[in-house]
Structure formats: structure tokens, C-alpha cells
Amino acid sequence: MKTAKINKNAPHFALILILLSVLHFNSGPAMASDDPVRPSIDELKSQISLLEQQVADLEEENQGIINMLKGLDDEEPYLVVDTENNRLSMRQGDHILLTAIVGTGSRQFLKEETGRNWMFESPTGSLTVLGKQRDPVWIRPDWSYVEENMPVPPENDPDRIVRGVLGKYALILGNGYKIHGTKWTKLLGTHFTHGCISVGDEDLEILFNSVKTGTKVYIY
Amino acid sequence: MSAFLLSVLLITMNSTGWGQEDDERRKLLDQQKALTGKIEDLRHEQDYLLFLKALSSTDSKYLIFTISSRTGRLKYKNRVLKDFRFSDSLPRKRMERGEVTLTKKNEFSKSRKELVFGKSFILQRKGFEVRENLTVPRLLLSKKDFRAVFNALEEGSRAYVIP
């Protein structure tokens, strides 16, 4: 009889035990956890707050760098010459305004008996348009006489002045180099010049009208 | 009696937010994970921006590779010199993002050349791949693009890979 009475009350005791367990383990959910692996809600919120601050700091820093880089950009067109493929492009930001087939330095070597020598390469690096010319005149350099086995005249000899061989326009790059026209249009796309950049008439006119003194020219 | 105790039990569970606390914890952990991921992305972005900043004041040409679009860019300071496309060949290893350096310009013959960027990858001309050092991924460019890039760079030139 007594046993039966105990068995009848067992479920009630079980439920009481469960109830007490729930009350014990769920008291103060916001208090610090004793389990080092399982941070409390408050600890998590604190960590998240720190992470949010890190995100804000990084975003601010990155924006600062982006603004600095944007400050370097301008909307000025510039020229790029690819001497390997004999291509000239006029670019403005991410846009290509013009692509032209050009002639660049022949990479030939010329040696004079006196010991002087010349390597006919186009200059590379960052250059600047120093001036613009209409109907440019070619002042024959010494090598042009040496190349043809002709005697080299004095520096101010009028024979050195040749008209009509550099096309209608020229962009002066300095050190004797120019971007100019040519009568050898069939050779455009090859390495045939003595260092200057030769451009076809149509493209040259566009370039002349588009660039100004100070325009950057990058040759590689 | 059992029903009464069970009811009390259920009410107690609800009032102590037993289920709710787990939900909140889960949400906070998700938020923490998302923020950690965002911080990593921002740090990668900053690394790239600092690279651009450094190269904007040097007298060197450099490359930017964008893996997702298979495009590359030859630049000088803040100016774009050339855009190009590339394909990749075996082995299709995942390329790591970040800065790389051109360690070697190899010219085996007039048409067989390569640009070696350490152990990261090798740039070659399509159709004229040099089949040595096959553990390193290859990026293949068209003839014109490869010639231009090969001509433009020198050993020590820097590049950046973005995903």
C-alpha cells in the first residue's frame, strides 16, 4: 500500500525537481557567465560594440585614402605610346578618346667613323608636350648626313632646314623628339623612325586640336 | 496536480526567457561574425588603397589584376596606360590577393618569354606557354598585350591581385 502511494506521487516530484532546476539555471540571464567559452549576452554586446567601432574607424580611414587618391585625378587628357606595338592612345580618366597606329624608333644603331654613334630609340618615361607647331620644319641632325654617307655641314647651314617632311603639325616633347606627321604612312605600325613618334595625318590633326602645352605623354 | 505543476513549469520557462535568450545569443553571435568578416574586408581594402597610394608617388609602372573579371591594368602613378584581359591555365590554383613583385623576366626566345611573379603566378603569351615550373598558376595574355606588358615592366616592378 505504502509503495503504491509513493509511486503515485513520483510524477509530481519529478515535475517539482524540473521546476526547481529551471528556476536555478535561468536566474539572472544577464549576469556574467561562469563558462569562459560561452560569453554572456552582455559580454557579446560589449564585443559587438567594439567591433562596430573598429568598422567605423576602418571605413573612415579608407575613405580618407580614397579621397586623397581622387584628388590626384584630373579630367585632363593624356597620351600613351606603346612602342612595342606602335600604338598611341589618347586617354581621359577611364576613357580612350583615340587610338592611333604610329611609328616609333627603329632601334637601329648607327656608328660614324669618327666614333660618334646613335641608337634610334623612342624615349620612354613620362614626358610633357612642351609646345605645338603648325607646318613644322625639320632641322637635319648630323646623323641624317652620316646615315647617307654625306659630309656633315656646319650647324647653321641653311641646307639643314627641310620643310614638308614632318606633316602639318608637331607636338614638341623635348631633346629633339616630337610627335609629328610623316610621308611614310605605309610604314605606320612599324619601328621605322629615328626616335620621334610618327602619326598619320587624320589622327595627328585630332591630337593637335585636343592636347595643349603641358599635356602628359607616357611612353613605354 | 500534474497538470498544475506542468503549467507552472511552462510559465516559469517562459518568464525566465529560456528560449528567448538562446535566440538573442544566436543573433548576437551572427552579428559578431558578420562584423568580423566586414573588418577583414575593410583591412584588405585598406591594404589595396595603401598600395595605390604608395605607387601614386613613385616613378614606376605597376599592374593591377582583377581575378573575378580576368582583367588587368598597367598603370603609372594614377594614370592608366593599358587595359588587358587574361585567361588562366593549369594549374588552376586559387590566387592569393595582395601585393606581388616581378622577380624574373625570362626571355627563352623571341616568342617564348615570361614574367615571373615569385611563387604567385607567371604571365605568359597565349599559345607560347613555357611549360616549366608547373606548380605555379599561369596567366595568359594575347600577343600584343603580353609584348606591351613585358616591355613596360622590369624586375622589381610591383603588382596587386584583387579578387
- The predicted pLDDT at position B17 comes to 56
Kindly tell me if the per-residue pLDDT of A39 is higher than 70: yes
Closest by Cβ to A62, choosing from B36, B42, B76: B42
Q: Rounded distance, CA B144 to CA A124, Å? A: 18
What ipTM describes this predicted complex? Answer: 0.83
A150's grid cell: 654625306
Comparing alpha-carbon positions, the chain B residue that sits nearest to A80 is B81
Closest by Cβ to A48, choosing from B28, B43, B46: B28
% of chain B residues with pLDDT over 90: 69
pLDDT tens figures, B14-39:
555 557 888 999 999 999 999 999 99
- pLDDT, average across residues B72-81: 96
Q: What is the mean pLDDT of chain A?
A: 89
Kindly tell me if the per-residue pLDDT of A1 is higher than 60: no
- The predicted pLDDT at position A47 comes to 96
**Secondary structure class of A185 (helix, strand, coil):** helix
Please, which residues have CB within 8 angstroms of residue B56's CB and are 6 or more apart in sequence? A69, A72, B77, B78
Backbone CA torsion sign across A51, A56, A60, A66: positive
B9's grid cell: 513549469
pTM of the model: 0.82
Residue A10 binned pLDDT confidence (cut-offs 50, 70, 90): low
Residues in B closer than 8 angstroms to A218, CB to CB, are 76, 79, 81
B51's grid cell: 598600395
- The predicted pLDDT at position B19 comes to 78
3-state secondary structure B73-89: EEEECCEEEEEEECEEE
Closest by Cβ to B12, choosing from A23, A73, A84: A23
Residues in A closer than 8 angstroms to B24, CB to CB, are 41
- The predicted pLDDT at position A31 comes to 44
Kindly tell me if the per-residue pLDDT of B133 is higher than 60: yes
- The predicted pLDDT at position A22 comes to 58
Residue A206 binned pLDDT confidence (cut-offs 50, 70, 90): very high
Comparing alpha-carbon positions, the chain A residue that sits nearest to B74 is A220
- The predicted pLDDT at position A6 comes to 47
- The predicted pLDDT at position A54 comes to 98
Q: Rounded distance, CA A101 to CA A89, Å? A: 9
Comparing alpha-carbon positions, the chain B residue that sits nearest to A20 is B9
A60's grid cell: 573612415
Residues in A closer than 8 angstroms to B77, CB to CB, are 72
In total, the C-beta contacts within 8 angstroms joining chain A to chain B are 114
- The predicted pLDDT at position A41 comes to 93
Closest by Cβ to B42, choosing from A48, A52, A59: A59
